[in-house]
Amino acid sequence: MQNILSKYGERIIELIKQSMIDNNRTTTGKTADSLRYEVSNENVLTIFGSPVLEALEFGREPSSSSGGEGFFDELREWATIKIDSSVTDSTVFAIYKKINEQGFEGTDGLLSLPINQGVDELNAELSAELTQAYASKIALEFKKGYKK
């Protein structure tokens, strides 16, 4: 079971990364690279990633908060890549201020659609394996009963 869950942990991460690319929600790759998964001894698959992922799907409300430690530096890095390599701190500050004052809209389905697709694929594989296992057991029991 853990092998199957590990396979789908990798698959779901691939699907999320592709969704980020398809929706133009990746610049440096750091957020995508933050994705990882764990399979517990209780056969629970958990996907982890940067808190930025949640904001990318659900957006961010206006806030008096600074956006967390390093937000300005991350915004500067984004602006350098997306706008111009010579972007000034005053331009970055204007973007920073606007995000804090107005928030920003997320990308609906950015995470939830690939996660749901991966879970559907996992369920289909588990269903097929369980069906196969029980069909084999039923056939074996039938054979045993037939010989009597």
DSSP 8-class letter at 100: H
Tell me the whole-structure pTM to 2 decimals: 0.79
What pLDDT, on the 0 to 100 scale, is given for residue 73? Answer: 87
Termini Cα distance of the chain:
35
Q: Is the pLDDT of residue 141 over 70?
A: no
Q: What one-character-per-residue DSSP string does 37-99 give?
A: EEE-TTS-EEEE--THHHHHHH-B---SS--STTHHHHHHHHHHHHT-TT--HHHHHHHHHHH
Q: Is the pLDDT of residue 7 over 80?
A: yes
Q: Is the pLDDT of residue 69 over 80?
A: no
- Specify the DSSP element, H or E, that contains 36: strand 36-39
Per residue in 10-19, is it b (16+ CB within 10 Å) or e — as a string? ebbbebbbeb
